[in-house]
Amino acid sequence: MIIRQAVFEDAAAIARVHVDSWRTAYKGVIKEEVLAGLSVEQRTMNWQRQLGPALDQTAVYVAETKEGDIVGFASGGPSRTQCLPYEGELYAIYILDSYRRQGIGLQLMQSIAVFLRDQGHDSMFLWALKDNRYRAFYEKWHGIASGDKLVQIGGEDYTEIAYGWDQLDKFIQFKQM
């Protein structure tokens, strides 16, 4: 598996992973009509904006097979909230269901952590839906539950939990078990 920084031309593949991952990870959690209404085309336009030329304080990394297929991604940058004591934020991490449990998630998170550290940040956090069955992944890698908030998705309220790492250097050194 190749982990590399994303480029503008990756937008459609990232969008496909984003939509497919939401549909599998949140099945039974988020209303089916919301998941069915997700649009790869709309997400592609969103990712094209994010991968534009002004990408200096944020980064997107992709996991790519040797055949050139993008099967996961992570994005991050400075914290977007003042209510938590972390400097950097992992904005998103998604991996296609058939590629889970292969160490890709840790590699992607560590790529973002290295980027954040190189930007001068010592810590990071992410938000995860409370009912996300993959939250154990963050706990496995010593993410500390650090708060929660309500978010609206499709007109419904959901609770998100913040997981934080206060020493990026330690997190970067974790090895796949």
**Cα–Cα distance, 91 to 109 (Å, whole number):** 10
The pLDDT of residue 54: 65
The pLDDT of residue 42: 94
The pLDDT of residue 177: 47
Amino acid at 19: V
Helix, strand, coil percentages (3-state) for the chain, rounded to 5, are 35, 30, 35
Range 31-39 contact pairs with CB under 8 angstroms and sequence separation of 24 or more? 31/154, 31/156, 33/154, 34/153, 34/154
pLDDT per 10-residue tile (average), the chain, 177 residues? 94 96 90 92 92 80 96 94 90 92 90 93 93 85 90 92 90 70
**Cα–Cα distance, 80 to 87 (Å, whole number):** 9
2-5/156-165 β-pairing: unpaired
Cα dihedral 149/153/158/161 (nearest 10): -50
Q: Which CATH architecture has domain 2-122?
A: 3-Layer(aba) Sandwich (3.40)
The pLDDT of residue 83: 84
The pLDDT of residue 56: 73
The ranges assigned to domains in the chain are 2-122
